[in-house]
Amino acid sequence: MHAAVGGGGALRAANEIEMTIAEIRRIADETMASMQSTAESETRSFSNLKVPVSAFGGTPQGRTLGRQHEAAHEVFVRTIEGVIADLREFQRNLRACADSHEDTDEAAKAALTALGRSYARHTYQSAYNYDRGRGENKHDLAVPGQGGGETRLNDSGVEVPTTDAPAPTDAPTDAPADAPAGPAPAGATDASGMGTS
């Protein structure tokens, strides 16, 4: 059976069967257990229905028929015992299958959760380069009357001009640009492709 795990622990086989892990466990624990119990009960009843060879008469033909009946009875009982063993094995395999898919789901969930947490305080290279580029070029990017081109994010996350007054006109023009706040991400590069450290 070719199966694929879908979201929420669903198991789908070749677009024909779709069930949850809980349903697989219910089949193993309830349906299969009921089938085994019925097979075992019927096998015991049938095993007790032995007919002695003598019941078929004392003639050679009767004894031959009696032995054939006895042999057929034994074959049938052994076959049903094999069916019961197969049912038990299938039950174990169903439980193992459910355990395996459950473990896979848990491992995937843990990996994705860890990945998400690793980005909680992550410094993105794109954001770092953007901030650095704006800081280094703020005078050239300035819009008259808007605080030298400096902006901030409002409460809605929209970039708006700062309300700070523009820098005095007598400020040295060769003053170094303000560096953006925050550490550079590991391996950060500037516009020239050189390292930032």
The pair of three-digit structure tokens given for residue 120, joined into one six-digit string: 């909680």
Per-residue pLDDT tens for 6-21?
444 455 555 566 778 8
One DSSP character per residue, 74-128 reads: HHHHHHHHHHHHHHHHHHHHHHHHHHHHHHHHHHHHHHHHHHHHHTTT---HHHH
Per-residue pLDDT tens for 150-191?
666 666 656 666 655 455 555 455 545 554 555 565 665 555
Please list, in sequence order, all residues whose beta carbon lies within 8 angstroms of the beta carbon of residue 141, skipping any fewer than 6 positions away.
134, 149
Residue 99 has pLDDT above 80, yes or no: yes
Please tell me the distance from the alpha carbon of residue 175 to that of residue 121, in angstroms, as a whole number. 32
Other Cβ atoms less than 10 A from the Cβ of 78: the count is 11
In which band, very low, low, confident or very high, does the pLDDT at 4 lie, cut at 50, 70 and 90? very low
Q: 17-20 and 10-13: which strand pairing?
A: antiparallel
Averaged pLDDT score across all residues of the chain: 73
Residue 5 has pLDDT above 50, yes or no: no
* Mean pLDDT (whole number) for 34-57: 84
Cβ atoms 66, 54 nearer than 8 A:
yes
pLDDT for the residue 183? 58
Cβ atoms 133, 139 nearer than 8 A:
no
pLDDT for the residue 3? 46
Pick the range with the lowest mean pLDDT from 1-5, 27-31, 77-81, 151-155. Answer: 1-5
pLDDT for the residue 28? 85
